[in-house]
A and B are shown apart, each in its own frame.
Chain A
């Protein structure tokens, strides 16, 4: 006899399975467009039953659903969700190859694909969270997913999807813009740290300064990014025109320089604010003890205050990095490059696939940065407590 009461049917799994089921039946899986901008014809998964890959996919989804409804064993959940996710990716590629008969025809994933992708990713994330892995193992897991994801892309199975066609049409440019995107994000982060950390420490030590600095930075944060880029063009352009030294440093009113300066300005608030909060969080008793041990002011700052405040500062870095990866997109409008180039070109050509070629890597980068920095922050907090 089956004892139903023994199954702990959790609401999250039920919801995920429900969404997956509804999207398979009521949402289109793939859109086939006769050219890049035409409306195209939507195909539901049930209309694709003549494709063997559809059956494999549906089979994997059923296994995934059954496991999630009937089992709480994390290992089985993880395995079934992973298999379903990779099969989903491969099957959309195989289906694209079937329909993309001419170079001008574009096959693009539709809502059911994205819903399934989202549901399976959530299910996988949920399982990993339940496993409560140590921070460093989480990075290994991340590396595994990046490796397998890269492998699927490299294998060529997705090459007939519209987004990959957009990619192959501008492969060299893609990597160039990817590098530029990272340079801008990391460059702005490093400069913001160089300015923000001392400013944060200083603001902590001088309470009168703290209010002014934090309020000014909060105010700056409300300026729309494109407006700030535009505002910086004039002074930087003037600077470049006045001195050849500034020109040699790559300073100019357009391109990377105004984008970098604007990003640094945006990045300052999280860095300064988190430095102040982190330092405020250091227990006065610890500081007194350090004083009692005869440490100098500088020693107390470097050996006590900063290490103890570091996890909080790192949270600021996480905010800056994830926010920065998104903000850099707008730099494309002032010649700063980055993935935004594809987003804005795509908008100008109503080519959703070109927009996605810019947007998906941005989302991916932000996600990877968040996972890495979360792991880093957690590992530091743990060591600090142990010590």
Chain B
């Protein structure tokens, strides 16, 4: 019987820790983000900015992958999180081939309208940064061969340039990914010039190019990855705009926005102040130097005078 009593006590003890009564009135804004570095950075910026302007928040940052965060927002379990305009092409299957996605402003307009009509979700103004697929080349290869744009890169590879790429399965097969680059800039990778990995984690592709694993010197990256420059890589500019634009913007539930209409006013200047080099720099401080996302977000917002 003693064992049973012990067991019961243990059960009650552990079960009681899950009771977290939430007060209905004065509900804080639940801020979430994806689990990656930039998600944590932008999510913290939203939390700090809202708090500095007297809007109470609840921190659900680094919640999970895109499908989880998106489901949680639509289900009303979270109120706001930063999402990329280009993901609209996947959220709304019917519109996935629309040319609008390849332009920052048009893509934002399109996803704003589609998401509001379908889910009553409001897209606030996006940062002027594009976190889309790009190719980055080791600088000791790019500099002697004068590679700055994808046009340069295409000509170099066609002329027998010794590029070896590491990229995700998805990027290599997805028509809008590598195939779009290859047809626009008229080059073709031979199978032995590619190392294909599963999963779109660019932290690993960048590391492989930096360490020259298996002779890799070109990596699939996202435009605002923090590790690109510290790893000694140079991004090839997509000078003919072949890729869908992924500009980060806060997405908020209309219901919450009605309670706190000031959110638009305070978050817009913060996101408009961000561009790709700035984001790369801030992401690098988190990823390369090991600073906390929250500290980096706070120091940026203070420098720019958004918070005190």
Contacts and interface: CB of A to CB of B under 8 A. Distances in A.
Interface of A: 35-39, 104, 106, 165-166, 169-170, 183, 186-187, 189-191, 193-194, 230, 233-234, 237, 240-241, 244, 247-250, 252-257, 260, 310, 332-335, 341, 344-345, 347-351
A338 to B, nearest CB: 12
7 contacts: A36-B288, A39-B207, A193-B11, A194-B11, A334-B63, A344-B35, A350-B227
B35 A37 contact: no
Contact of A244 (B24, B60, B72, B287): B24
Given A190-B14, A193-B7, A349-B203, A335 B63 contact: yes
The 7 closest A-B pairs by CB, nearest first: A190-B11, A350-B203, A335-B63, A187-B14, A237-B75, A349-B287, A186-B14
Given A194-B11, A260-B18, A241 B76 contact: yes
Given A37-B288, A190-B15, A253-B77, 15 more contacts: A37-B287, A38-B231, A39-B207, A183-B14, A186-B10, A249-B19, A254-B77, A310-B3, A334-B64, A335-B68, A345-B62, A348-B35, A348-B36, A349-B203, A350-B227
A241 B255 CA distance: 15
A240 B206 CA distance: 42
A293 B291 CA distance: 71
Contacts of B173: none
A107 B214 CA distance: 25
B15 A191 contact: yes
Nearest to B39: A348
Given A37-B227, A348-B35, A333 B65 contact: yes
Given A37-B207, A169-B290, A193-B11, A333 B18 contact: no
Interface in B14-50: 14-15, 17-22, 24, 32, 35-37, 40
Contacts of A230: 67-68
B51 interface: no
A35 B15 contact: no
A335 B75 contact: no
Contacts of A234: 71
Nearest to A187: B14
B231 A37 contact: yes
Contact of A350 (B3, B19, B64, B207): B207
B204 A350 contact: yes
B204 to A, nearest CB: 6
A168 to B, nearest CB: 10
A166 to B, nearest CB: 7
A337 B87 CA distance: 26
A334 B68 contact: yes
B286 interface: yes
A145 to B, nearest CB: 24
Nearest to A233: B71
Contact of A333 (B3, B68, B72, B201): B68
A257 B231 CA distance: 40
Contacts of A253: 71-72, 75, 77
Most chain B beta-carbon neighbours within 10 Å: one of A37, A193, A310: A37
Given A190-B11, A237-B77, A249-B19, A36 B289 contact: yes
Interface in B271-301: 286-292
Contacts of B18: 183, 187, 249-250, 256-257, 260
Contacts of A237: 71-72, 75, 77
